[in-house]
Structure formats: C-alpha cells, structure tokens
Amino acid sequence: MPRSHDLSSPARGAVAAERRAFKRQLNKVYGWYTGGFVLFVLALAALEFLGLPRHWIGIAFLLATIVLYAGIGVLSRTSDAAEYYVAGRRVPAIYNGMATGADWMSAASFIGLAGTLYLQGYGGLAFITGWTGGYCLVALFLAPYLRKFGQFTIPDFLGARYEGHAARSVGVFAAILCSFTYVVAQILGVGVITARLTGLDFTIGVFVGLGGILLCSFLGGMRAVTWTQVSQFIVLIIAYLVPVVWLSVKQTGVPVPQLIYGAQLEKVTALEQRLIDDPKEQQVIAIFRRQADELAAKLRDVPAAMARDRDTAEARWAQLREAHAPLVQIQAADRAISALPFSEAEATAHWRRALAAAEARALPLAGMPRHAQQFAGDPDGSAEEREAFDVSRRNFLSLVFCLMVGTAALPHILMRSYTTPSVKEARESVGWSLFFIFLLYVTAPALAVLVKYEIFSVLVGTPFDRLPDWITAWSRVDPALLSVSDINQDGVLQLGEMRIGGDIIVLATPAIGGLPYVVSGMVAAGGLAAALSTADGLLLTIANALSHDLYYKMIDPDASTARRVAISKALLLIVALAAAAVAAQRPADILFLVSAAFSFAAAALFPALTLGIFWSRATKWGAVAGMLAGLGVTCYYMVRTQPWLREVFGVSGPLQLWWGIQPISAGIFGVPAGFAVIVLVSLLTPPPRPEVQAMVAGLRYPRQEP
Amino acid sequence: MKVADAHVRHWRANRWLSAWLMLAWFGVSFVVPYFARELSFQFFGWPFSFWVAAQGALVVYLAIVVVYAARMNRLDQDCGVAEES
C-alpha cells in the first residue's frame, strides 16, 4: 500500500485533494441522512397525533433503523483486505471519531449509566470520569504509535514487538476473552430492547437483532461497520439529548440541561431532607425494619420457624374450612401451604434473600445515598464511620483507575487507530471521539438529576388510584424493574414504596416527563443503535483476531487475501451465533461481566502495549509473563470474591476482600502485577534483537527520514 | 540541525508534554476525588467536587487530548518528521 511520504509532491497534492473531496462527499451524505431521520421522527409524531397505535410506532422504529443499517452494510460490501480490516485507512478524523464514539457507547452507557447515577448519586460518577479519562491514555500513549506501526490488529503489534507467536497468542486470548464477555452483554441488550419495542419473545428479539448486526459487519467488515457506526451515532445522540432537553425546558425553562441542573440538584438535596424527615416515609421504613427483624429471628432457628410457619398455615386452612369460607380463599390457603419451603437449606436461602431485600428497603430514601454526598460514612465520625468512608473512597478511586486503564486497552477501540489516513489524523481522531462521547457523558448526570427531581416532586405523594400509566406499563414488563405497593396502606405513594431498577430510567424518561410516545420509541431506537454498533465492532475484533492472527499469521502464512477475508466472515458468523446462544441463556450477572472485561483488558494488555512502545528493553518473555500474571491476578481475585463466580467455580470459605476492594475493580491488583512482572522478567532475559529496538525507536516519529 | 538531533529533541519534547498533561489528568481524576468531601463548596449550584467529576474533569480530558494533538502536530513540522511537509 502506498504511504503518503513515498510519493512525490504533485502526487501528494492529488492525494490531499482526493481526501478533501471524499470528506465533502461524506458531509453531504450524512447531512441528508440526519435530515431524513428528523423528518422520519416528525412524520411518526404526526401519525401518532392522528391516532397510530403505539405498537406500530415501536415496530416502525425497529424496522426502519435495522433496514437502514443493513442497507449501508450491503452498499459497503467488500473483499479487499485493507478495506475489510481497516476500512482502507482513509476515514477522516472527525468521522473516525464518530464511529469510535458509537463503537464505545454500548447498551451500558446508553441505558445503564444514567440509571446508575440515579441510584448511586456521586458514586456513579466514577463511571463518567473512568469511561472518558481513559481516552487521555489512548491519545498520549497508544493511538499515534499504533497508527505509525500500521498493521491490522492489536495482537499484530504484540507479535511484531515481542518477536513471535508466544506474545501474539496470549494477546489473541486476552482480546477474545474481553471482547466476548462484552459482546454477550450487547446482544442481551439488543434482545431486551427488541422485545420491548415489538412485544416479540426475548429469544426471537435476540436473533432479530443479531440479523441486523450480521448483515452489516458480515458483508463489509470494518468498512461497512465504520459507515454504519457513524449513522448509528447520529441516531443515538439525538435520541439521548431530545428527552433531556425537553425535561429541562419543562422544569427550568432553559434548553441546556448540562448548564442548569446544578440548580435542580440543590432542589433535590432539599427534597431529600424533606423525605428523610417525612413521618409517612419513616412509617414505611419501620414496616420493612420489622419484616427484617422477623426474618432474622426465623434464621436464628430455622427448623423451629419452619414448623411454626407450617402450623400457622395449616391452622388457617382448617379455620377457613370450618367457617365454610369461599372456595377461592381455601384454595389460596392451600397454595400457601404448598409454597412453604421443603428443606432447611431451601428455607434458609429463601429467608436470607428476603432479609437482604427487606434490609435494603428499610433505609431512608429507598436505600439511595443523598445524591450530592461524596462517599459513604463520615471522616469525622466514629471509628466505624471513618472506616466506611475510607473504604468507599478507595473503591471509588480504584474503579476510576480500572475503567480508565481498561478503556485504553480494549482492542476494539485501539483498532480504530489503524483506520485513519495518518498519524496526525490518528491524534486528532481521539480528540473527536472524546468530544462525541463527551456529549452523552456530560448529559447523563443531568438526566439523572432531572428525573430524580421529577420523581421526588411530582410522583411521590400521588394517590395510588391516580398513578401515571407508565408505572403500570413498566411493572407489567418486568416487576424486577419497577414495582409499587402501598406498604403502609395510606393510599398515597411514598418513595420507600417504589422499587425501581436502574435500567429503565433512560427508557422511561420520556414517559416520566410526559412526552409523546414517539420520543419513547426514538429513545429505544437509540439504545438499539448503541448496542448494535458496539456489538459490530466487538464481533469484528474477535473474528479478526481468529482469522488474521491465529489462522493467517500462525497457521497458514501463505493464505491468499480472498481466503483470509472469507475465513474471517465465516468466523464472524460462528462467533455471533455463539454469543447469541450464550445471551439467550440470560447469564446471571451481566453487568458484572461487562466491568470484568475492563479489568481483564487493563491487566492483560495495557502494560505490554505501553511498555512495548516506551521501553525498548522490554522482552518477549517479559511481556508473555507479564500478560499472564496480570490476567492471572485479576481472575484469581474475581473468582475468590465475586458471589456469582464463587458459585460457578465452587469456591468455599469466607469471603476475604483485599483492603476492602470490590471485585469489580480487580484490575487494580492486576495492572501493577503486570507492569512489575514485565520489568523484572525483561531485566533477567537478554535484550530484544537490534531490529526490534530500531522498530520501537521508529514508532516515535511519524516520518523517520528527513 | 542534524537528523539525530531533531529526533532527540522531538522525543524529549514529546515526553515532557505527555508528563505535564498526565499531571493534569491525575489531578482531576484522582486528587480532586480524594479530597471530594473537603472540596464541596457551592459552585453554580453543584458541590465543587461533584461538578468536577460530572463535567470539569471531562472538559480537562478533552483539552488534554486536543492540546496534545495540536502541539505534537506542530512539533512534527518543526523537527521535520511530519508525514506531509
């Protein structure tokens, strides 16, 4: 492939002119596209006004967007290796930034982030800084150097820098491990949204969404994925901003929520104090406290409590029979008897869960911390409060660290450094990516505060017979996401009587703010775009790692280009189906798996990549040992401390946290271990060959010879 | 200036620039959150440390990346290692 500095000046001028024309063309196409999307939404809004049923609006959004993405995929189909793997290396910085933004912002960012902020307040901001600050590391330490290296995948770099297959295969393993856990989460998100939009079964939803993903990445590889991602970014950012701006205008009259929500935060803080002091709320809390105490008493002597429960239930049944009560009541009493736990183990497990649930709700503000309060506990309080404060702060900082370093090591993001035309544009492209990500991330905390204000000031205190429609609609979808019940029987909703899951905050925002249904449909389409775009990028990363690194570089170096692309396509299909099959099982703790992907990437890849660029003395065996050590420490800590993994791997014994660090931040131990092992082993092994050291020096300068 | 000298200068300037920018990065990412409780004076309605984590840090990150790209692209020109001169 010709590199620009190999050409003479006139030819260079022609290349630059061609690039400018290409960019103008892109501006035109995406300008029309954005206008078309806005018109489409307005047309649906008009149809809703004229009486189109809601069901059809959802289906229209789903079909229109998937057909559109697939259409772009078909138009960009290719079998050329440079086009398939790195989109021909001619994506202008701003569009590469937009595509990276869509690649980056997953279902978790779009759907989950604002919900986490709603539930955790300041604590949730770790995700905001963590998921943006990582781009500084990408920009300063990785992107320009990887672009200068200019191959196809991240294991490519490891293989070339660390001389051979050992480092490359560990890199392939790490890339696949973190990308696969991540892609399962995306497909799960696609399934959930498709099911909500259309009312289809969840499993069918997964496979419909999968069709959309595949049509795009299968035919055109990175080229199709890039151009689709740009269009997906446009959909998702419009869908995210519109309801927040609307809500902001409704509450404050100012259409820039990011600037104004400080004032709303003050009001929320005042409302929080009022809710904490409210006697009705305290009554609800006391009821949950009593339930928790009863359960704790039962757990102290399980067999006796089981016998007592059985006696009570049977007595009630007999009493009803005696009094010739209606059959319905007797049947209910009968069912209550058969629902009693059979074994002691079952009873213990059941009551423990109920105890945890009751205790979580026997807290002020339905268990949420005050929104603006930094960390739990109190640095000036009792020893216990000081400890709680320290642990909470330590966990916040560790999470920020892991998310940042993980961001800078996720292969599907780093791969984006290869798709720009030059080192200069690779640097600029990171700036654009961060800018487009910034738009959403700076809005999410505003959304959380505005929704909280709406719920505290409007919803709480509403009589139960006048609750808005969305509450019934969502609690019908899944009671785990939203449930209300009149605990203290006063006919009015208290905050403590509502349980809300973080994942519905964004999807329900239009309904909470009383916006037309078409906005709800658009937000769901935005969530779908976010999940699809990330899934595309991840699937491509996995398929490329297998076809390019494993097959072409390690098994059959003589394979022709066409054969490599064909194999990559076949693998893409297999990986996608495997991921869908895993997602259809609805694996337990999916949010944990996503965060785990960050810790894995951080510990396995970041030390080897950065030291590979900045320290020419780092050796092959140092890198291999370091990657394995980083990954090993991270996995070990997770398996020892994460409840779900403990169950999977059958870990028994007491749960021992190191310095109180939660398993989500396991990378805080893995990353330093990785660095330390690379340095130690490198110093103990002979230095790399001179050619490799020359290559490392060459990475530093966009063009070496004058 | 000799080629090797230009390279040395370029690499040294690159590392200094990176180090200064990383210092700013560390400040808003870790130092401000560490003292979050102490830094909770009112700032346009937000407690200051809340505002930094929600917006201020993001603006600083964006500035870091943009400044790095601009300075490095100019440095490439000055040292004669730019791709298109």
Q: Which residues of B touch A445 (CB under 8 A)?
A: 54-55
Long-range contacts of A268-274 (CB under 8 A, 24+ apart): A268/A371, A268/A372, A268/A449, A268/A452, A268/A453, A268/A456, A269/A370, A269/A371, A269/A372, A271/A453, A271/A456, A271/A457, A272/A365, A272/A370, A272/A371, A272/A456
In angstroms, the CA B1 to CA A147 distance is 27
Does residue A123 lie within any of the structural domains?
Answer: yes
pLDDT at position B62 is 93
pLDDT at position A12 is 65
CB A122 to CB B3 under 8 A?
no
Q: Which residues of B touch A2 (CB under 8 A)?
A: none
Of the residues B62, B67, B77, the best mutation for testing chain A's interface (the one with the most A CB atoms within 10 Å of its CB) is B62
- Indicate if A431 and A369 belong to the same structural domain: no
Best CA proximity match to A471, nearest among A457, A485, A461? A485
Using CA of residue A31, residue A34, residue A40, residue A41, what is the dihedral sign?
negative
pLDDT at position A137 is 92
- Indicate if A345 and A422 belong to the same structural domain: no
Report whether pLDDT(B1) > 60.
Answer: no
A13-62 per-position pLDDT tens digit? 777 788 888 888 888 888 888 898 899 889 888 888 888 888 788 888 88
Q: Which residues of A touch B3 (CB under 8 A)?
A: 705-706
CATH number for the domain that contains residue A204:
1.20.1730
CB A700 to CB B14 under 8 A?
yes
- Indicate if A455 and A485 belong to the same structural domain: yes
Give the distance from residue A522's alpha carbon to the nearest chain B alpha carbon, in angstroms: 26
In angstroms, the CA A427 to CA A164 distance is 28
Q: Which residues does A275 contact at the CB level (< 8 Å), separation at least 6? A: A281, A364, A365, A456, A460, A495
CB B51 to CB A262 under 8 A?
yes
Q: Which residues between 1 and 60 in chain A have a beta carbon less than 8 angstroms from any beta carbon of chain B? A: 4-5, 12, 16
Does residue A677 lie within any of the structural domains?
Answer: yes
Q: Which residue has the higher pLDDT, A190 or A110?
A: A110
Q: What percent of chain A has pLDDT over 90?
A: 14
- Indicate if A478 and A569 belong to the same structural domain: yes
In angstroms, the CA A399 to CA A33 distance is 38
Residue A138, amino acid: V
A364-379 per-position pLDDT tens digit? 888 888 888 888 878 7
Boundary of a domain, candidates A535, A562, A585: A585
pLDDT at position A2 is 37
Boundary of a domain, candidates A564, A585, A606: A585
Using the Cβ of B48 and the Cβ atoms of chain A, whether some distance falls under 8 Å is answered with no
- Indicate if A537 and A613 belong to the same structural domain: no
A472-521 per-position pLDDT tens digit? 877 776 777 788 888 888 888 888 888 888 778 888 888 888 888 888 88
* Domain extent for A361: 277-393
- A676: pLDDT confidence band, cut at 50, 70 and 90? very high
- Indicate if A52 and A126 belong to the same structural domain: yes
What is the residue whose two structure tokens read 């239930």? A313
- Among partner residues A265, A404, A705, which is closest to B29 by beta-carbon distance? A404
Does residue A438 lie within any of the structural domains?
Answer: yes
- A590: pLDDT confidence band, cut at 50, 70 and 90? low
A210-252 per-position pLDDT tens digit? 777 777 667 777 888 888 888 889 989 999 999 999 999 988 8
Give the distance from residue B73's alpha carbon to the nearest chain A alpha carbon, in angstroms: 6
Does residue A63 lie within any of the structural domains?
Answer: yes
Both tokens assigned to A174? 């790490």
- Indicate if A437 and A382 belong to the same structural domain: no
Specify the number of domains making up chain A. Answer: 3
pLDDT at position A589 is 58
Q: Which residues between 28 and 47 in chain B have a beta carbon less than 8 angstroms from any beta carbon of chain A? A: 28-30, 33-34, 36-37, 40, 43-47
pLDDT at position A7 is 44
- Indicate if A139 and A76 belong to the same structural domain: yes
Report whether pLDDT(A675) > 90.
Answer: yes
**Domain positions in chain B:** 3-78
Using the Cβ of B83 and the Cβ atoms of chain A, whether some distance falls under 8 Å is answered with yes
- Among partner residues B49, B65, B80, which is closest to A136 by beta-carbon distance? B65
Give the distance from residue A690's alpha carbon to the nearest chain B alpha carbon, in angstroms: 18
pLDDT at position A588 is 54
The answer to whether A168 and A549 have CB atoms below 8 angstroms apart is yes
Task: Choose the most confident range, by mean pLDDT, from A394-403, A516-525, A586-595.
Answer: A394-403
| Residue of chain B with shortest Cα separation from A10 | B84
Q: Which residues between 342 and 381 in chain A have a beta carbon less than 8 angstroms from any beta carbon of chain B? A: 372, 374-375, 379
Using the Cβ of A403 and the Cβ atoms of chain B, whether some distance falls under 8 Å is answered with no
Give the distance from residue A131's alpha carbon to the nearest chain B alpha carbon, in angstroms: 10
Q: Which residue has the higher pLDDT, A195 or A591?
A: A195
3-class DSSP assignment, residue A621:
helix
- Indicate if A244 and A195 belong to the same structural domain: yes
- Among partner residues A12, A427, A705, which is closest to B84 by beta-carbon distance? A12
- Indicate if A570 and A635 belong to the same structural domain: no
**Average pLDDT of the segment spanning B63-72:** 92
- B57: pLDDT confidence band, cut at 50, 70 and 90? very high
CB A423 to CB B83 under 8 A?
yes
Helices (H), A585-689: 590-614, 620-641, 643-648, 667-684
Report whether pLDDT(B85) > 50.
Answer: no
| Residue of chain A with shortest Cα separation from B11 | A700
- Indicate if A565 and A598 belong to the same structural domain: no
Report whether pLDDT(A323) > 80.
Answer: yes
Using CA of residue A666, residue A667, residue A669, residue A673, what is the dihedral sign?
positive
Give the distance from residue A20's alpha carbon to the nearest chain B alpha carbon, in angstroms: 15
Does residue A296 lie within any of the structural domains?
Answer: yes
A334-363 per-position pLDDT tens digit? 888 887 877 888 888 888 888 888 888 888
Does residue A269 lie within any of the structural domains?
Answer: no
Q: Which residue has the higher pLDDT, A516 or A554?
A: A516
Q: Which residue has the higher pLDDT, A193 or A156?
A: A156
DSSP state of B46: E
- Among partner residues B10, B25, B50, which is closest to A701 by beta-carbon distance? B10
Task: Choose the most confident range, by mean pLDDT, from A327-331, A385-389, A578-582, A602-606.
Answer: A602-606
- Indicate if A561 and A703 belong to the same structural domain: no
Q: Which residue has the higher pLDDT, B70 or A381?
A: B70
In angstroms, the CA A242 to CA A478 distance is 26
**Average pLDDT of the segment spanning A130-141:** 91
Q: Which residues of A touch B64 (CB under 8 A)?
A: 136, 139-140
A620-673 per-position pLDDT tens digit? 899 999 999 999 999 889 888 877 777 777 777 777 778 878 888 888 999 999
ipTM of predicted assembly, 2 dp: 0.93
- A4: pLDDT confidence band, cut at 50, 70 and 90? very low
Q: What is the mean pLDDT of chain A?
A: 84
pLDDT at position A1 is 35
pLDDT at position A278 is 86
pLDDT at position A197 is 66
Both tokens assigned to B51? 């505002």
A63-112 per-position pLDDT tens digit? 888 888 888 878 887 777 777 777 777 788 888 889 888 888 888 888 88
**Average pLDDT of the segment spanning A550-562:** 79
Of the residues A374, A407, A610, the best mutation for testing chain B's interface (the one with the most B CB atoms within 10 Å of its CB) is A374
**Average pLDDT of the segment spanning A401-409:** 91
